[in-house]
Amino acid sequence: MIYLDHAATTQLRPEAREAMLPFLGARFGNPSGLYAVGRDAQDALDAARRTVAECLGARPPEVLFTSGGTESINAATLGIAYAMRRAGAGNHVITSAIEHHAGLHVAQHLEELGFEVTTIGCDSDGKVSVTEFVRALRPGTVLASVMLANNEVGTIQPIEELAGILREFANKASHRVALHTDAVQAPGWMALDVEKLGVDALSLSSHKFGGPKGSGVLYLRRATPFRPLLHGGGQEMQKRAGTENVAGIVGTATALQLAASGSAERAARVRALRDRLREGILAAVPDAQVNGCQVDCVPNNLNIAFGGLESDTLVQRLDARGIAVSSGSACSNSTWEPSHVLMAMGVPIRRAVGSVRFSLGETTTEAEIDEVLRVLPAEVAAVRAVGVPAV
């Protein structure tokens, strides 16, 4: 299989697997236990927290371990917004139209809880509008949640600029406005420094950078108002209850450390492969165009709109040829459900429903890219010959 869907998930790194194995066997203790096997688990947990904090430029107590990116995003958004409202700071939250569904749906939930939510748009490259962001700020704004790198088109958002705007706003307002970013797609491709980014909260998902599924990270800046999403035994410094997944946490720390190491060299090599794939597709396939920016974006993401076809059919045909890619749309009973990200970017619906995401990884080779370029034109032509449902 030629796997070009690394934005969806990645293979578990061998080093992460090896680090996890003892904690799935003899080192099985509960970190809350006062006996030796429990203390051993707690020591491993503490070491993992220090490793993750180092990778993020954070303090160990600011690192919380979760069940994945979705929980981290939900915990940050709900926890900060609710705490700020309880403190009387306000009731208004800002987010963007291109967030992952975890971010979009938690924003909808906030509205159900009585919060006011402003959703800002983006340009044709998939970059959020700074002008709209500034315009959305009001005295009752308590939280802004904007992703760092988009999962569908890879565009990197101006998080540092937004953080600066919020600092200036806070100087004039009677309270701070917290900034959360979904950084799930960033590890391995760009440096993550929470101080440089200026964020108060940052979410990660382990399986996106070679760690295990079911494990995630939430960075929460010290003194940021926060109400726990999960209540119980008070683990994770009273901010996330539940017995810690020690094996998953150890694997996460190992994988993140490896992803952070040599990210600049890795990004340069994969960017060259991504560019080779892009130019090859545009040269060999008529009526194909790139969705999103290919400059200010993570280097492994390529989203292509193929005119005159429905992408799910192309994805299935490529799968039959041993090539795994993904589609951002769904077609059922002649009803199209195009990507909300592409719609926000203003991509016409007929192109949006024919869009395919190719997301490369550090194991991707030139030979694999060449094979995709050999197979793809004929498969596109075959799908186009069948036609697409009417809008």
Predicted TM-score of the model (pTM): 0.96
pLDDT 10s per residue in the chain (391 long)?
999 999 999 999 999 999 999 999 999 999 999 999 999 999 999 999 999 999 999 999 999 999 999 999 999 999 999 999 999 999 999 999 999 999 999 999 999 999 999 999 999 999 999 999 999 999 999 999 999 999 999 999 999 999 999 999 998 877 889 999 999 999 999 999 999 999 999 999 999 999 999 999 999 999 999 999 999 999 999 999 999 999 999 999 999 999 999 899 999 999 999 999 999 999 999 999 999 988 999 999 999 999 999 999 999 999 999 999 999 654 433 456 789 999 999 999 999 999 999 999 999 999 999 999 999 999 999 999 987 665 5
Which parts of the chain are beta strand (E)? 2-3, 63-66, 92-96, 116-120, 141-145, 178-182, 201-205, 216-220, 288-291, 301-306, 323-324, 326-327, 330-332, 335-337, 355-359
Report pLDDT for 157: 98
Q: ∠ CA(259), CA(296), CA(291), 5° rounding?
A: 105
Q: Which residues pair with 217 in a beta bridge?
A: 65, 204
Report pLDDT for 375: 98
CB 100 within 8 A of CB 127: no
Structure tokens at 23: 């904690």
Report pLDDT for 389: 60
Distance CA 17, CA 13 (A): 6
Q: ∠ CA(150), CA(152), CA(157), 5° rounding?
A: 20
Starting from the edge strand earliest in sequence, which strands make up the sheet with 326-327, in order?
288-291, 301-306, 355-359, 326-327
CB 236 within 8 A of CB 64: yes
Distance CA 201, CA 182 (A): 9
CB 248 within 8 A of CB 212: yes
CB 119 within 8 A of CB 107: yes
Distance CA 173, CA 362 (A): 45
Among 154, 131, 159, CA closest to 144: 159
Structure tokens at 93: 């939250």
Structure tokens at 340: 């909300």
Do the bridges between strand 201-205 and strand 216-220 make them parallel or antiparallel, or are there none, so unpaired? antiparallel
Q: Which residues are catalytic?
A: 331
Structure tokens at 304: 């292509």
One-letter amino acid identity for 229?
A: L
Among 268, 270, 255, CA closest to 187: 255
Q: Which residues pair with 144 in a beta bridge?
A: 94, 179
CB 249 within 8 A of CB 23: no
Q: Which residues pair with 130 in a beta bridge?
A: none
CB 78 within 8 A of CB 109: yes
**Domains defined along the chain, listed by start:** 14-260 (3.40.640.10), 262-386 (3.90.1150.10)
